[in-house]
Structure 1
Amino acid sequence: MPEDPLMIRARELWENLASVPVSFASDGGVRVVVSPESRLCPAGWVGVVALGESALATAPDADTAAVVRDALTGLPVTAVTDVAAVGAVLPLAGVLGPAALAYVSVGGFRPVGRGAPVVQQLPGTHPDVRRLEETAGETDAGEAGLFENTSPAFVVRTAGQVVAAAGYRLWPGRTAHIGVLTAPAQRGRGLARAVGSAATAHALTAGLLPQWRARIPASRRVADALGFRELGAQLSIDLA
């Protein structure tokens, strides 16, 4: 069976972010490597990314890598990004995630149709986008990461105010890491899907690989509606 082009590109991305020579095992399982400069996780943490039947884990030093290797190799790949399963075999001081990793191709993309909210394009640093971040609050704004975007901002306005915005940050491997933010009082109206569709279309037109990383079910549903396929998950671990 031919390899999935989306899976190939997604794995190449995360192999690059590991910051050391490593690849996902073709026969499945978990590979653990030492990488103090890993971009899979915050500095000093352990980063785990599972895609399909294989996973990569990076550790900041050899001793930590040995502990993680012993613990994770006893788990199925489907469990290495599950907090409960990992917490049963490793002492956790903190975690980030897990976050689902989803990707879409030109052929699989399902843009919004007629009747969707009107989307406008603004510079990514436009003051109205910053005001939306203030309205949404630090936690949601940080999750969306619009302030880090390298693309234009795709927005919906209500009564002149930007109430939803999306854009993307250019990652290695010509990947477009998409972020979406909706004002709390405006959620449930399809706005995230509208602006997310515009950002995805812009990325695909530029020949980029759109990536949708999400932790909350609502965001994952938006990605699914647009044709994104969940290929795996990411988890960052701070060991006690």
Structure 2
Amino acid sequence: MAVDPLLKQAQGVWETLAAVPVSFPLVGGLNVVTSPASQLAPPSWTGIVVLGDSAIVTTPTDRAAQVLRQILARIPTSSLTSAEAVGAVLPVSEVLGPAVLGYVSRDGFRPVPADRCVERLAPGHQDLTTLVKSVPPEDAGESGMDEITSAAFVVRKGADVVAAAGFQVWPAATAHLCVLTASGERGRGLARQVASAAVAQALADGLLPQWRARPMASRNVARALGFRELGSQLSLRLNQGELRLED
């Protein structure tokens, strides 16, 4: 079977973030490991990542890992990041996601022609902070713009920054893209413009661009730039006291 280089590279990102030795099964299915330091999910949570036909799961305790191996093996891999499917068989108290994971190679990238002036700002610049504060908190949190480590690529309307993109440098040479557009300026192609500049920089830096999104509008921006949706991610807070092995 031919190996998809982009998929293999994406899987390597999350295998690294698991913080313990684990790999995506070669022929489908899932691997569950105990990893209190995992970055697949917030601390003390369970993280599930599906890429291609395979999945890895990290959870903070050996007992939880034992239960998850038994119960999740009965769920189709394609349903492992469905909050409804997992919630039907596990005692879930809180959920983050699911989010779709997209990646793009240098050859697959489709840059947007520069029909607007894209300016470069330092991360944490006052004008960038003003944009983040201007949108609803859930939009700001979804974008991750206040956590970028790269330069911010921005478009202005007058003196105001109305769209911005950058990335966080993750382990395994990954550029996690962050994009935000002012609430009243959406639907005009600004996100594609600034994101294109950020992706071009990430590729120039030798990084793998990663796009994690839930809203369809964000996913459409990624697709327009050539990102391929290779999988998804779900994070769960489990009621540890209610985890039970089945007879």
TM over 0.5: yes
Partner of 1:79: 79
- Report the AA paired with residue 218 of structure 1: A
Whole-angstrom CA distance in 2 between matches of 1:138 and 1:91: 29
Alpha-carbon separation, structure 1, partners of 2:114 and 2:39: 40
Tell whether the 8 Å contact from 2:150 to 2:168 is kept in structure 1 after alignment.
Answer: yes
For 1:112, give the aligned amino acid. V
Q: 1:70 corresponds to which residue?
A: 70
**Residue in 1 that maps onto 2:201:** 202
CA distance in 2, matches of 1:71, 1:45: 17
Residue 55 of structure 2 corresponds to which residue in structure 1? 55
CA offset digits 1:5-59 (Å, max 9, x no partner): 1111111110000000111111110111100111000111100000001000001
- 1:191 equivalent in structure 2: 190
Q: How far is 1:120 from its partner?
A: 0.9
Q: Give the distance between the partners of 2:149 and 2:216, measured in 1 at CA.
A: 26
SS at match of 1:49: strand
Contact 2:114 2:193 survives alignment (8 Å) = no
Measured in 1, the distance between the counterparts of 2:63 and 2:114 equals 56
Q: Which residue is equivalent to 1:225?
A: 224
Q: What is the TM-score normalised by the length of structure 2?
A: 0.94
Q: State the percentage of identical aligned residues.
A: 55
Amino acid in the other structure paired with 2:49: V
Structure 1 residues 68 and 158: CA distance shift in structure 2, 3 A: same
Where do 4+ consecutive residues of structure 1 move more than 2 Å?
Answer: none
Specify every segment of 5 or more residues in structure 1 that has no aligned partner in the other structure, as ranges. none
What aligned pairs does 1:1-240 form with structure 2 within 5 A after superposition?
Answer: 1-113=1-113, 115=115, 117-240=116-239
String of CA shifts for 1:142-161, please: whole Å, max 9, x gaps.
22112211110000101210
Equivalent residue letter for 1:104: V
Q: CA deviation at 1:192?
A: 0.7
Amino acid at match of 1:222: V
In structure 1, the residue matched to 2:244 is: none
Task: Give the match's secondary structure for 1:2.
Answer: coil
Q: Provide the rounded CA distance (Å) in 1 between the counterparts of 2:226 and 2:84.
A: 29
- For 1:169, the aligned partner's letter is Q
Deviation at 1:2, TM superposition (A): 2.9
Residues 98-146 of structure 1: per-residue CA shift (max 9 Å, x gap): 010000011100111253x321111112100000000013221122112
Aligned length: 239
The residue type paired with residue 205 of structure 1 is A
RMSD of equivalent CA atoms: 1.0
Give the whole-Å Cα distance in 1 for the aligned partners of 2:190 and 2:216. 16
Deviates more, 1:82-91 or 1:32-41: 82-91
Query: Per-residue deviation at 1:211?
Result: 0.3
Counterpart CA distance in 1 for 2:123 and 2:62 is 41
Rounded to whole Å, the distance in 1 between the matches of 2:183 and 2:158 is 16
CA separation in 1, counterparts of 2:54 and 2:130?
41
Q: Secondary structure at the match of 1:64?
A: helix
